[in-house]
Amino acid sequence: MTAALLDARQVTIRFGGLTAVSNFNLTVQSRELLGLIGPNGAGKTTIFNMLTGVYKPTEGEIYVGGESTKSLSPHQITSRGLARTFQNIRLFKELSVLDNVKIGGHIHYKYSGTSAVLHTNRFHAAEDEAEEQAMKLLEIFGLDARAHVYAKNLPYGDQRRLEIARALAARPKLLLLDEPAAGLNTGETLRLMDKIHEIRETFELAILVIEHNMELVMGICERITVLNFGKTIAEGKPEAIRANPLVIEAYLGEPADDETMV
């Protein structure tokens, strides 16, 4: 059997005295659609940051395609097939929409500075391909008409879509989406759900979604992990998660006793 796309084993991270995440386990197989949910401050984004190498876990190990990421920097992990979006959109604001996506494909269209200055054949081939691939991605997200607009001038919903397009340009095997529906209205969220399904089919990749929006998570994820205070409190299929008393407690609080109800 081939190694899992992503395998996090007993991952713990402490910031000073605070244990942000403890003993977190997660395995992602190819083409899975997983959800990671939990109340605010449960450690979801911290986990994303560990998976992508921004933070190094205090204990435990993360394997990408069977390779430990202990000594890899974020850009190396990206080149191993992991790409992400950010909770608080981090586009390259002063660059055009097209350039944002081209930078997303950086690892595939690299060439030396000498090639760039001399405009060698290699330069032309790489640039033509980068442009073509980027435009294809923009078309999928309906952004092709605004390819030459500065990213900062895009409306909010388009910025979220552009972030996904940019991450896809890296041709990841696993796409990490950090609250893709934050700030979107209901209609946009529904369209986003369709889009996420469509992306998985077209690009044949696995997707891990962090989300607050229960509708979205329950609607698209095949498996869900629930976090609270850095600990995994439940794991399983959406129906099971919906019925899990621990999850209900984490989101709604403890059920009140009949006697105190008076």
Partner 1 sequence: MKRWWIRDFVYLIAFVAVLYGVWWVLEYATTFWPAMRYYNRILVLMGINITLAVSLNIINGHAGQFSLGHAGFMAIGAYSAAYLTVFYFGPYVAKFAEGSTQSIVMQNVLLLVAVLAAAAVTAFAGYVVGLPSLRLRGDYLAIVTLGFGEIIRVLILNIDKIGAARGFTGIPTWSNFFWVFFFAGLTILISNRLVNSSVGRAFLAVREDEIAAEAMGVDATRYKVKAFIIGSALAGVAGGLFAHYTPAYLNPTMFTFIRSFEVVAMVVLGGLGSISGSILAAIILTFLPEALRVVKEWVPDSAPEMLKRDPRMVIYSIMLIVLMLTRPQGLFGRRELWDFLPKRKDRVPDEARDTEDNKMDRDAAPPVT
Binding of residue 71 to partner 1 (CB under 8 A) = no
Binding of residue 238 to partner 1 (CB under 8 A) = no
Instruction: Among 17, 185, 201, 252, indicate the residue that binds partner 1 (CB under 8 A).
Output: 185
> What is the distance between the alpha carbons of residues 227 and 112, in angstroms, rounded to a whole number?
44
Which residues lie across from 68 on neighbouring strands? 63
Binding of residue 127 to partner 1 (CB under 8 A) = yes
Binding of residue 56 to partner 1 (CB under 8 A) = no
Give the H or E element holding residue 223. strand 223-228
3-state secondary structure of 225: strand
Binding of residue 86 to partner 1 (CB under 8 A) = yes
Binding of residue 182 to partner 1 (CB under 8 A) = yes
Binding of residue 188 to partner 1 (CB under 8 A) = yes
Instruction: Among 33, 42, 57, 99, indicate the residue that binds partner 1 (CB under 8 A).
Output: 99
Tokens at 217, concatenated = 């998570």
Instruction: Among 6, 11, 64, 126, indicate the residue that binds partner 1 (CB under 8 A).
Output: 126
Please answer whether residues 138 and 144 qualify as being in contact, where contact means their C-beta atoms are separated by less than 8 angstroms: yes
> What is the distance between the alpha carbons of residues 178 and 89, in angstroms, rounded to a whole number?
9
Q: What is the largest CA-CA distance in the chain?
A: 82
Q: Which is nearer to partner 1, 25 or 73 (CB)?
A: 73
**Sheet hosting strand 223-228, strand order edge to edge:** 82-84, 174-178, 206-210, 33-37, 223-228, 231-236
Q: Which is nearer to partner 1, 179 or 234 (CB)?
A: 179
| Residue 137 CB, nearest approach to partner 1 (Å) | 13
Of 205, 230, 150, 216, which Cα lies nearest the Cα of 182? 216
Of 16, 187, 162, which Cα lies nearest the Cα of 89? 162
Binding of residue 149 to partner 1 (CB under 8 A) = yes
Q: Which is nearer to partner 1, 141 or 223 (CB)?
A: 141
The residues that touch partner 1, with contacts defined as CB under 8 A, are 52, 54, 73-75, 78-79, 83-84, 86-95, 99, 102-104, 106-107, 109-113, 115-121, 123-124, 126-127, 130, 145-150, 153, 155-158, 166-167, 169-170, 182-185, 188
